[in-house]
Amino acid sequence: MAHLEEKSELIYDWNQLKEQPKPKNLLLDDETLRDGLQSPSVKDPSIEQKIRLLHYMDELGIDTADIGLPGAGSRAKGDVEALAFEIVKSKLRIQANCAARTVRADIDPVVEISQKTGLPVEVFCFLGSSPIRQYTENWTIDILLKHTEDSISYAAKSGIPVSYVTEDTTRSDPQTLEKLYKTAVECGARGVVIADTVGHATPAGTTALVRFVRKVVGDKIRIDWHGHRDRGMGLANAFAAWAAGADQMHGAAIGLGERVGNTPMDLLLVNLRLLGWIDRDLSCLKDYCGLASEATGVAIPQNYPVVGTDAFRTATGVHAAAVIKAYKRNDEWLANHVYSVVPAYLCGLKQKVELGPMSGKSNVLFWLSERGIDATEDRVTRIFDAAKKSNRLLTDEEIQQLV
């Protein structure tokens, strides 16, 4: 099978005319088990399902996972502890972090779990920072600074790694952000998280904000980007953040999360692979997304990129004919690129030619040959006529009956 970089002479790539330098750091933090479960449509997965998801994250090479908010209650704390034990017991490479409000009552459970399991669980202390949030909560900058100093210092002195999250960063003023981030770093934060909490940012705004924060915190502090997709900008903003100097992107399987969700982790991985910035096995990506869907009860839309059921299906005559011609050349690379930008085999999937009102006879011939069925004239005509009269794609069962 040809690799992605081979046969490049067959595809003129405008994306490469302006060089895209590879970012210094390409870290990924998976929020499926925390922010992903804040979606109003999800059910809380069983701990067995959460553990399986954690293993898929590790298999996909994801660097860290937010394994929950143990301060939310006894069940949340129990699940976080079980996930931390699983990382230790199974010797997973993935690292763990937990969300916490800037109060000691939220930090203490993280410290306790870390000490009990022997796993260095990083705590992400979050606090609203935008003017609209300050006005709503009747907060002053002095209150914000006090919460920041108390919580970050307390976590750092407890012996666990700590990062500082400003909620609604993308609608916060620079003066407030500078004061908060400098205080957090002085108190021991090793990372800061820029949160596009309501999906407000555009790529241009993302670039400006990340560059500003980098100047504030310096080069030794990790900068994370936590993006939501209320305006559909999640993926574009993530790559803009990397280009501007951020280190780690947050995402969730199939874009799960508060309201319309987070940046899709699966699409981050696919695009990093297509850019050539990572070289890892993504063959379990469909299983990771499928389990996330099953465990939370959130269906994957049929037209969802890569793992949606329609991603690699075609019944249109011209499209299908080109794919069929490629397969007849015994060239899987060609079949996966002639009418697709993402090679299906990259994620353990296959191109699928189907039959419907837009299909040609070549679709019928290919369908039959794939199954070793003789393409007699009567059989082909019968199937082709039925497809043309239908107002949708024929199912395999319907075609078998026509056979």
* Cβ 187 vs Cβ 143: under 8 Å: no
48's enclosing H/E stretch is helix 47-59
The pLDDT of 64-90, averaged and rounded, is 97
Output the CA angle 368-371-373, nearest 5 degrees.
55
In single-letter form, the type of residue at position 45 comes to P
| Residue-wise pLDDT tens digits, 78-130 | 999 999 999 999 999 999 999 999 999 999 999 999 999 999 999 999 999 99
The pTM (predicted TM-score) of the whole model is: 0.92
314's enclosing H/E stretch is strand 313-314
| Residue-wise pLDDT tens digits, 345-396 | 999 888 888 888 988 888 888 888 888 898 899 898 999 899 899 999 888 8
| Residue-wise pLDDT tens digits, 233-245 | 999 999 999 999 9
402's enclosing H/E stretch is helix 396-402
Q: What residue segments make up the domains of the chain, in order of their start?
A: 18-296, 313-402
165's enclosing H/E stretch is strand 162-167
pLDDT of residue 6: 59
The region that residue 7 occupies, defined by phi over 0 for left and psi between -120 and 50 for alpha, beta otherwise, is left
pLDDT of residue 233: 97
From CA 20, how far away is CA 133, in angstroms rounded?
36
- Extract the tokens encoding 79: 């699940």
| Residue-wise pLDDT tens digits, 129-187 | 999 999 999 999 999 999 999 999 999 999 999 999 999 999 999 999 999 999 999 99
DSSP code per residue over 93-120? S-EEEEEEESSHHHHHHHHHHHHHHT--
- Extract the tokens encoding 382: 């019968």
From CA 268, how far away is CA 264, in angstroms rounded?
6
CATH number assigned to the domain with residue range 18-296, chosen from the 4 options 3.40.50.300, 3.40.718.10, 3.20.20.70, 3.50.50.60: 3.20.20.70
From CA 120, how far away is CA 105, in angstroms rounded?
19
